[in-house]
Amino acid sequence: MHPGRTFREFGWWHEVVLLILLALLLAVAERLVPGFSNWSNQLYLSRHLWELALLTLGMTLIILTGGIDLSVGSIMGLCAVIFGMTFQWCQRTDVAALACLLTGTLAGALNGFLIARFQLHSLIVTLATFAAYRGIAEGLSQGKSYSQFGSAFSQLARSSVLGIPWPGYLFAVFTILCGVWLSLTPTGRYLYAIGYNERASRYSGISVDRIRRRLYMFSGFLAGLATVIYVSRFNTAKADDGKGFELDVITAVVVGGTSIFGGRGNLLGTVLGLLLIHEIRMFVGRYWGLDELKPIVIGILLIVSILASSTISRQDRT
């Protein structure tokens, strides 16, 4: 079965299910905690969303090709330390932000180079860089945190336009650009082909290695951008920034309908999966005060999603 056809057939009902689940969750949350679902409260809670949201874009494109990136959280930690060190050196947040973006892009490029050049599995490479990047960040910072970046920069992630935080607009722009590229360009459609059958894609002349390198570079760039927002929100940069983000990001993408085996998925599903994960985290952690339950719930959702994805993939390929 053609991968594009499979994606359309799967995506329609899966997105409807996600919308129903999201509506039910908000209804139950509103019943138990009056005011939880109102617009002003949701805008306030969205401050915790945008870093993860940016990371899900790059992760969706990578998983579509059958790959994965376990290092995005560690890249954020490394970028945060570079941001702090650069600011300490020049006292300019714009230069520190550029250094942060460059660091993320180079870290992602290294992932892509190792995977493409030596034909290594992305799980092994990014698991190694997951540890290496975090270790480098801790070694450079020596456990020290960086702060006092100025009031203007600290308001960057908290400012809003028409009540909507500006990182939300940034996420919307990148989502639209990625969606258009994925749906309307040949290279974007190649991602489905690579994930569905990499060997056939190579035989058909698709530059699989080049596409992979660029995807991981883009993922690293988004991690750097997410770090700028994260550091601005907390006005602190330290080596453990982004710790554990990879689990939430991967879960949001897979819950959103992108097959962990590649070849099927879309950004609309990712956005819905992200919103579902976000609302669960906020309700369980913030309003029930049960932070220890969040990893359990996220883990269960990830397992259920992978089992569903595996079942559907077997049906598609038979």
> Where do the domains of the chain lie?
3-32+46-317
- The whole-angstrom separation of Cα 123 and Cα 116 is 13
**Average model confidence (pLDDT) for the chain?**
89
Question: Rounded to whole angstroms, how far apart are CA atoms 241 and 247?
Answer: 14
Mean pLDDT of 265-276: 94
Partners of 164 in the β-ladder: 161
Cβ–Cβ under 8 Å, residues 277 and 294: no
Per-residue pLDDT, averaged over 16-45, amounts to 88
Report the distance separating Cα 87 and Cα 233, nearest Å: 16
Q: Which positions ≥6 away from 173 have C-beta within 8 Å? A: none
pLDDT at 221: 98
Stretch 271-298: mean pLDDT = 78
Q: Among candidates 277, 248, 253, 252, which has minimal Cα distance to 265? A: 253
Q: DSSP states of 185-209 as a string?
A: SHHHHHHHHHHH-HHHHHHTT--HH
pLDDT at 129: 98
Give residue-wise pLDDT tens across range 51-90.
999 999 999 999 999 999 999 999 999 999 999 999 999 9
- For the record, the structure tokens of 133 come out as 């990047």
Q: What residues contact 84, with CB distance under 8 A and at least 6 apart?
A: 96, 141, 145, 146, 147, 231, 237, 238
The tens digit of pLDDT for each residue in 124-172 reads 999 999 999 999 999 999 989 999 999 899 888 888 888 889 999 999 9
| CATH pick for 3-32+46-317 out of 1.10.357, 1.10.540, 1.10.8, 1.10.3470 | 1.10.3470
Half-sphere exposure of 227 (CA within 13 A, CB side): 37
- What is the maximum span of the chain, computed from C-alpha positions, in angstroms? 60
The pLDDT, as a whole number, for residue 2 is: 45
Adjacent-strand bridge partners of 161: 164
CA distances from 317 to 71, 201, 313 (A): 30, 16, 6
Residues 96 and 102: their CA atoms lie apart, in Å, by 10
